[in-house]
Amino acid sequence: NKWPHGQRPGWSESDLFSRNKTMGFQYKIVLNLGKILRGRQDGADQGKKQAVVVSAMGKTTNALEEIWQALPQAGAAALLVDAILEAHFKVSKALDLPASVLNKSTADFRSMVDSLAGQQPSSATYDSIVGFGERWSTEIVAAHLAARGMNGEWVSAWDLVQTNGEHRSAMVHLTSTKDAIHAAAKNWHTSLPVMQGFVGATEEGVPTTLGREGSDFSGALLAEALNAEMFCVWKDVPGVMTGDPRKWPAAKFIPHLDHKTAEALGLAGAGVLHPDTMAPLRRSGIPLWVNGFMDPEAKGTRIEGDTVPDDLPPLWTLSSLSDGRTEVRCIGASEEEAKAEWRVQFPQSHIQSVGLDAIVPQCIRFIVKN
Ligand code: ASP
Ligand code: MG
């Protein structure tokens, strides 16, 4: 019996997660992750090594940002702290893990928030607080993989990913990071390393973060340092699509994409690909699979090589501007084609200032007024 207080308490999923559906979903993601890795280990990739990079669970990073913002009002953060810790204990419990997995890190978190209470938030304290999301998620995933006989081993990105001191958007020192990973990897022969995305530390050991949604970039760096045969990211969409289906109704799944177009798509603001992620993969020629957690058996999008697929349709990104207009980017179409396609999708809207984009190569940009 793994429960410290005797009998495992009776619970149902709805009791556990009635107030936090996003977190309820997280334990299923961890289960799925375990199944995926086990499937690979026992199947096509037998004998090959795997490594895992994990970001924070659900909306944890946002919750931690709120706690950080609430620091000046002593006491105001307390409820938020309780809620986020409780949510993680529930995920851990739903996975049948002992509370001891999170005891140290959650206590560390409480004492850190206590010691900072009343202070003005600084970008240094941001990095110390917000990185806990990745600490907890990796503790849970590593413990789960260990409990399922897969030798999950928690490894610290604060030791391996070395950055400058630019808090909240630290630059990674590539060479020293690679060296640190190589040295650590000597001990990973029988274990399955589980590292945090998004975080790193300066040479002096001060925690930093790489910018929101930076975990894919961490994964790409680990893949590059380990000379990986392939790098796979798991998303809540089935793969790369021709647009965000919530904003672009005609969005279609793309089975195959080249590195350069994928990099452009990330730059254009497609949430599914962090703009920095492609560079390490492109320069090292590592293929990237973008897969969906909802259907792990499905094929996903494979990104590799320098040849743009012949049948690649135009790719779209839409982002809202503060004045209510929408900034639209279209990759892989002429100005006329892009405008025509836009009018088919949104006949009511007004297209303004069409031209070549200044940021993304070979991309048409325009502004739309509804
Ligand atoms: N947890 C971090 C964030 O939400 C990093 C990531 O998700 O990639 O920004
Ligand atoms: Mg995140």
Predicted pLDDT of residue 79: 87
Q: Does the structure show a pLDDT above 80 at 7?
A: no
Report, as an integer, the average pLDDT of 134-157: 97
What digits encode the pLDDT tens for the residues 70-121? Answer: 999 877 788 899 999 999 999 999 999 999 999 999 999 999 999 999 999 9
- The pLDDT-based confidence of 21 (bands split at 50, 70, 90) is low
Predicted pLDDT of residue 125: 97
- The pLDDT-based confidence of 282 (bands split at 50, 70, 90) is very high
- The pLDDT-based confidence of 22 (bands split at 50, 70, 90) is low
- Specify the ligand 1 atom closest to the Cα of 211: 9
CA separation for the pair 33, 204 (Å, rounded): 34
Q: Which helix (H) or strand (E) holds 154?
A: strand 152-155
Residue closest to 228 by CA, chosen among 286, 306, 283: 286
Residue nearest to atom 7 of ligand 1 (CA): 213
Place of tokens 């279209």: 330
- Specify the ligand 1 atom closest to the Cα of 214: 8
Q: Is the CB of 168 under 6 A from ligand 1?
A: no
Q: Is the CB of 137 under 6 A from ligand 1?
A: no
Identify which of 127, 161, 198 to mutate to test ligand 1's pocket (most ligand atoms within 8 A of the CB).
198
Residue closest to 137 by CA, chosen among 211, 206, 65, 194: 194
Report, as an integer, the average pLDDT of 336-357: 95
- Any residues with CB less than 8 A from the CB of 300 and at least 6 apart, and which? 232, 238, 239, 289, 290, 291, 292
- Specify the ligand 1 atom closest to the Cα of 218: 8
In sequence order, what E strands does 172-215 have?
Answer: 192-196, 199-201, 207-209
Helices 21-42 and 132-147, packing angle to 10 deg: 50
Q: Is the CB of 198 under 6 A from ligand 1?
A: yes
Pairing of strands 301-303, 288-292: antiparallel
What digits encode the pLDDT tens for the residues 25-49? Answer: 789 889 989 999 999 888 878 889 9
In sequence order, what E strands does 161-304 have?
Answer: 192-196, 199-201, 207-209, 231-235, 256-257, 288-292, 301-303
Q: Is the CB of 131 under 6 A from ligand 1?
A: no
Report, as an integer, the average pLDDT of 124-146: 98
What digits encode the pLDDT tens for the residues 183-207? Answer: 999 999 999 999 999 999 999 999 9
CA separation for the pair 323, 209 (Å, rounded): 30
CA 298 to mean position of chain CA atoms: 20
Predicted pLDDT of residue 370: 80
Predicted pLDDT of residue 236: 78
Residue nearest to atom 8 of ligand 1 (CA): 213
What digits encode the pLDDT tens for the residues 205-264? Answer: 999 999 999 999 999 999 999 999 999 999 878 899 999 999 999 999 999 999 999 999
Tell how far the Cα of 17 is from the centroid of ligand 2, in angstroms.
19
Q: Is the CB of 55 under 6 A from ligand 1?
A: yes
Report, as an integer, the average pLDDT of 129-146: 98
- The pLDDT-based confidence of 138 (bands split at 50, 70, 90) is very high
Contact 333, 288 (CB under 8 A): no
Predicted pLDDT of residue 6: 35
Predicted pLDDT of residue 297: 84
* Ligand nearest to the CA of residue 65, numbered in listed order: 1
**Structure tokens, 233:** 């990211």
Predicted pLDDT of residue 10: 40
CA separation for the pair 123, 140 (Å, rounded): 27
pLDDT > 70 fraction of the chain, expressed in percent and rounded: 94
